[in-house]
A and B are shown apart, each in its own frame.
Chain A
Amino acid sequence: MIEVKQVSKQFGGVSAVKNVSFLAPAGQVTGLLGPNGAGKSTTLRMLYGLLAPDTGQVFIDEINVAENTRLAQSRLGVMTDNHGLYARLTAREHIHYFGRLHGMENEQVEARASELITLLGMGPIADRRTHGFSQGERTKVCMAQCLVHSPGNVVLDEPTNGLDVMTTRIVREVVQELRVMGITVLFSSHLMHEVARLCDNIVIVSMGEVVAEGTAEMIKLLAQEDDLEDAFVKLVEQVIPL
C-alpha cells in the first residue's frame, strides 16, 4: 500500500507539486495520469525517497519514507522513466546486481532471475550485453530489475513510453499478474486509454495538483463527459491558467 499525504515540492520558487494526496491500495492498479510536466515524476521521486518533500509525508506499507528511507525502499520496486542500463553488463547481470543490492543471496537471485527472464520473454537476450538493446529490450531489463526482490509495491514511471505493441502487451500482462498477486501497483502515464484499460483507480494530476480521483466511470461523471479522453482534457485544463 502506498499513501501520499499532502505532499508539496518547490524548485527555486516554482511549485512542482502542490498538496498532493492519494492512496494506492494493495491488490489494485492505481494510475497516475497527467500531461507532460504535471508533476508525476516529481511525485514519484518523493515516493521512492530520492527527493525530500518540502511538506507532507509518504508511507509505503505504513513506513514513513522520510524517516525510514531504506526500509521503505526495500518494500518498493521502481522502474524509472529513463531506462538506463550498464552497456557492458548482460541482462542477467543487471537483474543479479539489483537483487544483490536488495540483500538477496546468490542462489535466490539466480532462481528469481531465470523466473523473470521467462516471465518477460527475455530468453534470447538474457546473456547478451545490453549495449545496442532496443527500447523494448531495455524496458524488459528494467522491469526485471524492478521486480527481482519480489516487492509488495511496484512503481512504474511511464513504462510503455516508446514501446511497440508486443512489448506493451507484455508490460500490461505483467501488471495484471502483479495485481492478482495482491501487489500494489502505481503506474504513471500520459496516455488516457492505457490507464483506462489497466487501472482500477485513476488519479489525475495537472499543474502539480490532484484534479480528480476515482474509477474511470467516476471521472467521466465528474467531468460530465461520455468519453474518457474528453473528460481528461477537460479536468486537466480546468487548472491551467489561460
Chain B
Amino acid sequence: MRPFTIVLVKECLDGVRDRRAVLSALIFPVLAPFLVYFLIHTMIELRSQDKDMLVAVQGADNAPHLMAWMAEKGVEFSVATGDPKTLVSNQSEELVLVIPDNFAGRIAEAKTSYVELVSDSSRNDSRITVARVRNLVRGYNSELASLRLIVRGVSPEVMSVISIVDSEVASQQEIATSVLSFIPIYIVLAAFISGMGIAVDSTAGERERKTFEALLINPVSRLQIVLGKWVAATLFAVLGMSLTLVLSMLVMSYVQLEELGLRFHVSALQVIAMLLATLPLAFLATSMQMLVGIFAKSFKDAQSYIGFLVLLPMLPGLYTMFNPIKTETWMYAVPMLGQHLLLTDVMGGVAVPVIGYFLSPLAVLLLCFVFSAITARLFKRESIIFS
C-alpha cells in the first residue's frame, strides 16, 4: 500500500469516529432537501387555498346574478353578519364584500353601482384573496359594460384601447428551474460543509494536537500526506453532495409540482450528469479548506476563517438568481460559476455544449492542484511544523 492510501485510511477512520465532523457532514445534506420540500409545499398550499376561496358577503340577495357569476369562477360565499369593519379588524373575516340594497336598481337604470370591499391591507395572508375578488368584480364589470354597449349598437372594442396578452417565453421546466434554483446552491454548499470537519481536523487539528511533527518524521513525501488527507476530506464532501442531490431529487418527486403549473422531471442519467458536473467542487472545497486550515493554529481558529469560504461558492448562484446571464463558453472555465451553470442547465433540460463538461472540471481541478501543492509546500515550513 502506498503511503497516500495509509494516510487516507487513517484519516477516514479518524473522521468517522469524530462525532462532530460526522454530524456536521450529515445534518446539512439531510435538512436542505426538506427545506426545499417545505418551501415548495407551502407554495402549493397557498395556490390551492386560492382555488376554493371563501368570501364573506353582506347583502348577497341584492346581487344574485353577480353571486352566480363569481360562484362559476370557483368562489364560495358565506354570509357576514354584523359590522363588516369590525369583522375584518378583529380578524374573524379576511375581507367582507358589501352589496348595497340599491345595487340591482342602479344597474337596471344603467348607472354606476357601488360595492364595498372591506379589507385590512396590513395583513399579508388576505392580500391574494382581496386581489382576486377585486379582479373578479372588475371582470363582471367589463362583461356587463360590453353587453350594455352591444345593446346600444356599439362595439365593446371601443372601450378597450389596449389589451395585454400574457405570453411566457420560458418553458415550463425553465420556470420550475428558477423556482428550484436553490437546489444547486445547496449542492454546492454541501460540498463546502460536509468535508470541512476532516479538512480542518487533519490540518489545524494536527497542529493543535501536536502530532504534526511526529507524522512528518516518517519517511514519506509531504505530497503523499497532503493527498491522503485531501482525498479523505473530499470523500466526505462527495458523500454530502450526493446525499443532498439524491434526497433533493427524491423529495421533488413527492411534491406535486403540477399544482403550480410546473413540470419537473429529472432522469437518473441527469442526476449522474449533475453529480459528475459538480464533483470537482468537492475537491476544490477541501483543498481550499486545508490550505486555510494549515495556516490556523487551532480548530476554532480555522473555523472562523473557513466561515468566509462558504460564502464563495454561493456567489455565482445568488448572482444568477437575481441577474440571469446569458451563458457563454468561457464561463464554464470559471470555477464555481461553471458548475452552477452546468447544474441549472441540466436541471432545466437545456443542452450543455460538450466542451462545458470538460472545461469546468478541468479548470477546477487545476486550481485544486495549485492549492494542494501550496499546502504541501507549507508542510515543509518550519514555522508551521513547530508551533
Residues of chain A having any CB pair with chain B under 8 Å: 45, 48-51, 69-71, 73-74, 76, 78, 80, 82-89, 93, 97-98, 100-103, 129, 142, 145
Contacting A at CB under 8 A, from B1-23, are 1, 3, 6-7, 10, 13-14, 17-18
Q: Is B214 an interface residue (CB 8 A)?
A: yes
In the complex, which residues 198-224 of chain B have their Cβ closer than 8 Å to any Cβ of chain A? 209-221
Query: Measured between C-beta atoms, what is the minimum distance from A84 to chain B in Å?
Result: 3
Q: Taking A84-B212, A87-B209, A102-B218 as contacts, is the C-beta distance between A45 and B3 under 8 angstroms?
A: no
- B207: nearest residue on chain A (CB-CB)? A84
Is the Cβ of A101 less than 8 Å from the Cβ of B209? Answer: no
A102 contact set on B, CB distance < 8 A: 218-219
B211 contacts which of A69, A74, A84, A103 (Cβ < 8 Å)?
A84
Known: A85-B211, A86-B14, A89-B13. A78 touches B217 (CB 8 A): yes
Task: Report if A142-B214 is in contact (Cβ < 8 Å); known contacts: A88-B17, A88-B18, A97-B10.
Answer: yes
Taking Cβ atoms with an 8 Å cutoff, the residues of B that contact A are 1, 3, 6-7, 10, 13-14, 17-18, 209-221, 382, 385-386
Report the separation of the CA atoms of residues A86 and B229 in the bound assembly, to the nearest whole angstrom.
Answer: 14
Q: Give the CA-CA distance A142 to B217 in the complex, in Å.
A: 13
When A84-B210, A101-B6 are in contact, do A48 and B217 touch as well, CB less than 8 Å? yes
Interchain nearest-CB distance for A111 vs B (Å): 17
- The distance in angstroms between the C-alpha atoms of A101 and B216, with both chains bound, is 10
Q: Is the interface of B mostly helix, strand, loop or mixed?
A: helix
B3 and A84 contact, CB distance less than 8 A = no
- Please tell me if the beta carbons of A85 and B209 are within 8 angstroms of each other in the complex: yes
Least Cβ distance of A8 to chain B in Å?
15
CA distance A142 to B214 in the complex (A): 9
- In the complex, which of the residues B7, B216, B218 has the most CB atoms of chain A within 10 Å of its own CB atom? B218
Which interface residue of A101, A103, A145 has the most chain B CB atoms within 10 A? Answer: A101
Can you list 19 A-B contacts with CB-CB less than 8 angstroms, sorted by A residue number? A49-B217, A70-B221, A73-B219, A76-B217, A78-B217, A80-B214, A82-B210, A83-B210, A84-B210, A84-B211, A84-B213, A85-B209, A93-B13, A98-B214, A100-B1, A101-B7, A101-B218, A103-B219, A129-B17
Contact of B209 with A80 in the complex, beta carbons under 8 Å = no
Q: A88-B14, A89-B13, A100-B1 are in contact. Are A80 and B213 (CB under 8 A)?
A: yes
Instruction: Report B-chain residues with C-beta under 8 Å of the C-beta of A98.
Output: 214, 218
Q: A80-B214, A80-B217, A101-B218 are in contact. List 4 more A-B contacts (CB 8 A).
A: A76-B217, A84-B214, A89-B14, A103-B219
Inter-chain CA distance A129–B14, complex, in Å, is: 11
Question: Given A45-B386, A73-B218, A101-B220 in contact, is the A50-B213 Cβ separation under 8 Å?
Answer: yes
Residues of A within 8 A of B214 (CB): 78, 80, 84, 98, 142, 145
Q: Are B216 and A50 neighbours in the complex by a CB distance under 8 Å?
A: yes
A145 CA to B215 CA, complexed, in Å: 10
A86 touches B218 (CB 8 A): no
Are B220 and A70 in contact, with the CB atoms below 8 A? yes
